[in-house]
A and B are shown apart, each in its own frame.
Chain A
Amino acid sequence: MKKSFFVFCCFLLCTATGFAQKYFTKNGTISFEAGTALEDIVATNKTAASVLDAATGQIEFAVLIKGFEFRRALMQEHFNENYMESSKYPRASFKGKITNIQSVSFQKPGTYPVTVKGTMEIHGVKKEMQTAGSLTISGTAVQATARFVVTISDYKIAIPRIVADKISKTATVVVRCNYSILK
């Protein structure tokens, strides 16, 4: 009974959206670099979740802050406890739209430049942003890549003066997601 209702809901959902293709990933990679000449600071998160709607261009990302891995244990601890306060703000997210989605042909293999516009939420602070990226279509697989710069103070992240010359004022973020079709 419960199962048939679920199937019915899925059917409704499909018909309502006109069988629009959606793509998802739960193992996207998001990394950032915020080092200076004095210190190289690199962290990678390999379990970012993302959903992409091919029809509307709607795109969303979410990561768990505690999932960022650093080479040094102390850096990871400072990042979580002092800067990102990850127990209080466990996630960071982005919700937005690919503004030129109509120029991407999901049936035709190739790499398409895209523009993404939306709201980033880090450390409990929301901010509008825009970046360039690309979508690579190959068969049923879709890969999204983007690279952009985030100003750390925009998100009310306080860096103590004692380490200020080791940590950059901005972080360069690299996104790489391999999507599969959402069934």
Chain B
Amino acid sequence: MKKAKRILLLLLVIALLGAGYAYYQYTRQPPDVKTEAAEIKTEAGELVAAFNNDEAAANKIYVEKIISVTGKIADIKIDPTGQATVFLESGDPMASVTCSFYDTEAAAVKNLATGRQVTIKGVCTGKLMDVVLNKCSIVP
């Protein structure tokens, strides 16, 4: 009788732990890239060249990683909806680095100017026409 109770209690604990873990997983937020440190630091030219030379290898190194990229601003776009995007020159006329910012960073992007050198942190999602960075913020 005592044994049965014990087993029951153990099962209950396991079930609770399982439920807790499931709840944690279910409500887990995507990482806040603004507050996390960059795993890799690179330059716009170097980043684009890496994807041009060997996309599969570059995907393994950079994609889904938080990286910081330094480069000269080629263009800035801020949508009426507040969506801010900065393009970095890479030396390759066909490809730049597209940096899509957190909507909350639009105000900071407004202070940037074309031609200026900047370091931007974000999550690399791969190469389309440009190498793309999501969830960007400016590295002070």
Residues of A in contact with B (beta carbons under 8 Å apart): 6, 26-27, 29, 46-47, 49, 62-64, 66-67, 69-74, 76, 87, 90-91, 178
Contact = CB atoms under 8 A, between A and B. Distances in A.
A72 B85 contact: no
Given A49-B128, A72-B27, A27 B93 contact: no
Nearest to B129: A49
Contacts of A71: 29-30
A73 B126 contact: no
B98 A29 contact: no
Contacts of A47: 85, 98, 100, 125, 128, 132, 134
Interface residues of B, number: 27
Given A27-B100, A46-B85, A47-B85, A64 B125 contact: yes
A54 to B, nearest CB: 19
Contacts of A73: 28-31
Contacts, number: 71
Nearest to B28: A73
Nearest to B134: A67
Interface class of chain A by DSSP: strand
B83 A46 contact: yes
Interface string B79-110: 10001010100000100001010000000000
Residue of B26, B63, B87, B128 with highest tally of chain A CB at under 10 A: B128
Nearest to B25: A74
Question: What 7 pairs between A and B have smallest CB-CB spacing?
Answer: A27-B85, A67-B125, A66-B125, A73-B30, A73-B28, A64-B126, A64-B125
Given A49-B130, A74-B26, 18 more contacts: A6-B93, A26-B130, A27-B77, A27-B79, A27-B83, A27-B85, A46-B100, A49-B128, A64-B132, A66-B64, A69-B134, A69-B135, A70-B30, A71-B29, A72-B27, A72-B28, A87-B59, A91-B128
A71 B98 CA distance: 22
B132 to A, nearest CB: 5
A27 B98 CA distance: 8
B30 A26 contact: no
Contacts of B87: 26
B85 A26 contact: yes
Given A47-B85, A69-B30, A62 B128 contact: yes
Residue of A6, A27, A69, A90 with highest tally of chain B CB at under 10 A: A27
A142 to B, nearest CB: 14
Contacts of B132: 47, 64, 67
A6 B79 CA distance: 32
B35 to A, nearest CB: 15
Contacts of B63: 66
18 contacts: A6-B93, A26-B129, A46-B83, A47-B98, A47-B128, A49-B128, A49-B129, A62-B128, A64-B127, A67-B100, A69-B134, A70-B30, A72-B30, A73-B29, A73-B31, A76-B30, A90-B126, A178-B77
A179 to B, nearest CB: 11
